[in-house]
Amino acid sequence: MKQVLLVFLGGGIGSALRFVISKPLNLVFHNFFLGTFLVNIIGCLLIGIFLGISTKANLLSQNNTLFLATGFCGGFTTFSAFAFEKHSLLKNNEILSFSLYTFSSIAVGVIAVALGLWLSKLLD
């Protein structure tokens, strides 16, 4: 039960922070959904760091990893909003924005995870 509570608390904090960051940026940059893009990339970077630290000499406990990676990063990032925003771009026939947003989110997200894992190795 403690682990469920840790994931719940981390997810709540991550979701609230995602809302605070993404909502105003998405209103300004609505053709690219910069807010969602940024929280997803930051979340990829953070999960790379957290999991890298977790696996490296057990620097994070299992509970800390659940709170940070599963809870916080899971609540902070959002694939459902990403998919909905892509749908709205297609519906509005914004093919270039759709393509740029889709490709950059995936490519930069994978790079951010790799960067996070690499950065965690520097914490010797």
Binding residues for Na(+): 74, 77
Tell me how many degrees the CA angle 73-20-119 measures, rounded to the nearest 5. Answer: 40
- Per-residue exposure over 14-31, b if at least 16 CB sit within 10 Å of its own CB, e if not: bbebbeebbeebbeeeee
What is the Cα–Cα distance from 109 to 74, expressed in whole angstroms? 14
Residue 76 burial (CB count, 10 A): 24
Residue 65 burial (CB count, 10 A): 19
Provide the annotated binding site. Answer: 74, 77
- Greatest CA span in the chain, whole angstroms? 50
